[in-house]
Chains A and B, each alone.
Chain A
Amino acid sequence: MSATDMTEIAIVSFAQTNCVGDAGAANEVELIMPVVSEALGKIGLKNAQDVDFTCSGSCDYQQGAAFAFVFGVDALGAVPPIKESHVEMDAAWALYESILKIRMGQAESALVYGFGKSSPGELPIVLSQQLDPYYLAPLFVDNVSLAAMQARQMLEQGVCSEAEMAEVVSNSRRNAAANNPRAQLSGDVSIEDLLKEDQWLAPLRKHDCCPISDGASAMVICTVEKAKEWGVPYAVIRSIDHRIETHNLGARDLTRSVSTEKAAAATGVGDGPVEVAELYAPFSHQELILKRALGLGDDTSINPSGGVLAGNLMMASGLSRIGEVAQRIIDGSIQRGIAHATSGPCLQHNLVTVLEAA
């Protein structure tokens, strides 16, 4: 979607929980309520009654509770009834649906949130069930093994080196320590020390893989006119686009991300300077793929939050990438940035958003 002749949409608020390895007994409502009320409260709103539309992203397989997203509505104040929708995807796609809702003229404002409690299950095994149901899901091929095969192809073809992968991890930990109090993994680790660690699912080392995290994030968007009426600072969503690749991993070139390249072209990523890029790369080598697919140079600060290698809230991480960039525009530290969200094995489905200052 380009912004031409369309309603301009603003991000006015964002909040995220800490990324924690185990949120304990907390249920979906107890995970969602604090971030929803923080995101609404930042701009003086009380509950979902104060926006025109609410959309969430989550996946019941993660915590093993059928229709958990329905219980999540208990966190919203849905009396009298509200306009609400849900995607069984990362909440970045709930944002996409909300943007369509506003552009169709059916709403002027929306609350978007995503949540995930991955700790109750074995996440890599759970994610095997998103694969093709006849050939792959019955084999329980986990997403880490698939990413490892992708990394091996890259290393064998000389597309990247193990040292470059370790550098991604080192940068993530350092950025998280400097900028992200909500991170799960942070600190100062050298490339040399990382390379000394044993391989886990070869050629991946454990630190090449994002941690498994529990938590949630929430965002409020609205038309630019509404943001002005509310009198709150905002970041403009200049463009947003998403593309998906085939289920058949054998039919894809796993060393690049054609879907991200196409989404980047459609959103005009290269039409201006990219000061910050928040990329949803659950594995270190995937950040290198995305950097190339998006045409990012060394003048772009990549994952100043640490990205998802510092904490991965499945079903909220994509929305959080967008929120991290929006936050930096809202606080005036940057003028233009991009955010990326992904879903499926080996970067199958990718969404790109360009955000700018008003």
Chain B
Amino acid sequence: MSEQREPVTAIETPIYLKYNFTAGEATSRFLSQVKEGRLVGQRCPSCHNVYVPPRGSCASCGIPTSEEVAVSDKGTVESFTIVWIPIPNNPIQPPYIIANLIPDGANMSFIHLMSDCVNEDVHIGQRVQAVWKEREDWDYGMDNIQYFTPIDEPDVPIERIGHMPVEGWGNADSVEGEQP
């Protein structure tokens, strides 16, 4: 009989699994457009909401979204947070801003960074525009956009956030008519 020794509290069993991962058909189409500097969402044929980035379905209706819709790289702040703590392995130094942004022509927000701004002045309804990397650095990724920066346009009232047409304030008369 072996004598009882110290309890074994850990063993190392490294696991390596290789995958040929694919992003999905809808996501692949979106990323191919982002590589060309364009944001292209998809519209639900039932509720007419436009999703950016699209996943190929309307999460509300549970049906395929096949109609592709170009949206603007201008948008509106739906919400934001100021990050004060360093995140391990994140090269961005705090304080920085993560925001829920809705591009003009879309109805759902996505998350991106805001920069080139006075953090204390950032607010819901604020107008922003994408700052793209140099064209030769574009790849299949949302980080082709470095960040969004405030632009000198009137704020969007709360009830209109998520209902701006692709022309933004440039065609303000159509705002009501574009509501889904």
Contact = CB atoms under 8 A, between A and B. Distances in A.
Interface of A: 24-27, 29-30, 33, 36-37, 47-48, 61, 63-65, 71, 73-79, 119-122, 125-126, 129, 133-134, 137-138
Contact of B17 (A33, A64, A78): A64
B59 A79 contact: yes
Contacts of A125: 17
A268 B118 CA distance: 73
B62 A76 contact: yes
Contacts of A48: 62
16 contacts: A24-B25, A27-B22, A29-B56, A29-B57, A33-B56, A33-B57, A33-B62, A64-B21, A65-B21, A74-B55, A74-B57, A74-B59, A78-B60, A79-B60, A121-B19, A134-B11
B23 interface: yes
A25 B13 contact: no
A78 B62 contact: yes
Interface string B79-110: 00000000000000000000000000000000
A129 B17 CA distance: 10
B55 to A, nearest CB: 6
B63 A25 contact: no
Contacts of B13: 133-134, 137-138
B117 to A, nearest CB: 32
A123 to B, nearest CB: 10
Nearest to A48: B62
A36 B25 contact: no
B19 A26 contact: no
Interface of B: 11, 13, 15, 17-28, 55-64
Residue of B27, B56, B57, B60 contacting most chain A CB atoms (<10 Å): B57
B62 A30 contact: no
4 nearest CB pairs, A to B: A77-B62, A27-B24, A64-B19, A79-B60
A125 B13 CA distance: 15
Contact of A77 (B15, B19, B23, B63): B63
Looking at A30, A119, A138, which has the most chain B CB atoms within 10 Å of its CB? A30
B25 A73 contact: no
Contacts of A134: 11, 13
B59 to A, nearest CB: 4
A77 B62 CA distance: 4
B55 A27 contact: yes
Contacts of B56: 27, 29-30, 33
Nearest to A27: B24
Given A47-B61, A73-B59, A26 B15 contact: no
Given A30-B26, A138-B13, A77 B55 contact: no
B9 to A, nearest CB: 13
Contacts of A36: 62
B20 to A, nearest CB: 5
A97 to B, nearest CB: 21
Nearest to A73: B59
Given A36-B62, A47-B62, A73-B59, A25 B19 contact: no
A75 B15 CA distance: 32
B27 A27 contact: yes
Contacts of A137: 13, 15
A122 B22 contact: no
B90 to A, nearest CB: 19
A64 B15 CA distance: 13
Contacts of B21: 63-65, 120
B63 A37 contact: yes
A26 B24 CA distance: 5
Contacts of A78: 59-60, 62
Nearest to B27: A27
A36 B55 CA distance: 17
Nearest to A134: B11
Contacts of A64: 17, 19, 21
A48 B61 CA distance: 9
A133 B11 CA distance: 10
A29 B17 contact: no
A33 B64 contact: yes
B25 A30 contact: yes
Contact of B61 (A29, A71, A77, A129): A77
User: Which residue among A76, A77, A133, A137 has the maximum number of chain B CB atoms within 10 Å of its CB?
Assistant: A77
Q: Which of B21, B25, B26, B62 is packed against the most chain A CB atoms within 10 Å?
A: B62
B62 A120 contact: no
A119 B56 CA distance: 20
Most B-side CB within 10 Å, residue of A29, A37, A47? A29
A134 B11 CA distance: 8
